[in-house]
Structure 1
Amino acid sequence: MTAQQTDVQTTHAITDVFEALRQGLLARDAVAICALYLPDALIFDLAPPLGKPIDEAELALWLSSWAGPVERQTRELRIAVSGDLAVANGFVHISAPTHEGELAAWWMRTTTLLQRRDGRWLIAHEHESVPFAMDGSDRALMNLEPEAV
């Protein structure tokens, strides 16, 4: 097997993690989603606090706050691998129906660190963010869409 074949296999294995995450969100399956993370994974997501471990009960509560499937679309995903570590970054679009019959949707930036343990790629760290207005209002800019980087 050549280095290029290994790189392709590794990239596919990592993108499979993101596809499993997408499928878990669609199914609103907190157990399946949490199985994609290392037990000591550190999460920097949009909700407070600044950092936290993956929490199955909290995730299940968030998933149940939507009236239907949570859609996750990734754009411009870049993956770099070195040994048993990989970093992926890009843009993610989340959309889900609210219980009030509306569609909530936003783009965010994401950087994910994955670690290969026992031959399986798992999420070790995840950082998601949205820009905020620098005009003194400090409001989150949830209506932005990615431009080519």
Structure 2
Amino acid sequence: MLEGTIMGDETVIRELVARRVEAMRAGDVEALVGDYLPEAVAFTLAPPLRHTAPEVQDPEALRGWFASFDSAVDFEVRDLVVEVGGGVAFCFSLNRVSAVPRGGSGAFDLWFRSTLGLREVGGVWRIAHEHTSTPFYMDGSFSSAVDLKP
């Protein structure tokens, strides 16, 4: 590996994102919450507007979310871009989540936008901030545009 170089750091961050995809598919809550810094903040698709570190690092909350499905969660990251330098990085991508809600008749398929802000602490890249969102229609309905696909 090219440790200490921008190319090496980008590779490590891409590997972190790939591990998170596999952890989502496996329902591995410990792996998912373990990627966050103690002071992490997340702006996710679910309310409230801001999730702070105790919530972001709570494996029980994430276990509850996984338990709300009758199927495994399928997860995909597409068009990942990573920018890194000086011990900080950000990456953005289009992500897809799909699963069968508990008691549902079929899977939903949702594409959304994702941005991660990372910091290197003690030689390890960790997530300091996560932001996920869906666009909304600007036609007066203000409906989330959950029907979009890349």
TM-score exceeds 0.5: yes
2:91 is aligned, of 79, 88, 91, to 88
2:20 and 2:94 mapped to 1: Cα distance? 15
Mapping for residues 66-145 of structure 1, pairs under 5 Å: 66-99=69-102, 100-145=104-149
Any conservation in 2 of the 1:42–1:126 contact (CA below 8 Å)? yes
Root-mean-square deviation (CA, aligned residues, Å) is 1.9
CA pair 30-138 structure 1, distance change in 2 beyond 3 A: same
Structure 1 range deviating more: 34-43 or 98-107: 98-107
1:22 and 1:67 mapped to 2: Cα distance? 19
Any conservation in 1 of the 2:21–2:77 contact (CA below 8 Å)? no
Runs of at least 4 residues of structure 1 off by over 6 A? none
CA pair 6-36 structure 1, distance change in 2 beyond 3 A: same
CA drift at 1:140:
0.7
Any conservation in 2 of the 1:28–1:64 contact (CA below 8 Å)? no
Identity of aligned residues (%): 33
Q: TM-score, normalised by structure 2?
A: 0.89
Secondary structure of 2:16's partner? helix
**Structure 2 residues not aligned, in runs of 5+:** none
1:9 and 1:76 mapped to 2: Cα distance? 19
Count of residues paired in the alignment: 145
CA drift at 1:125:
0.3
1:64 is aligned, of 61, 64, 67, to 67
CA drift at 1:2:
8.0
For 2:36, the equivalent position in structure 1 comes to: 37
Amino acid at match of 2:44: D
2:123 and 2:62 mapped to 1: Cα distance? 26
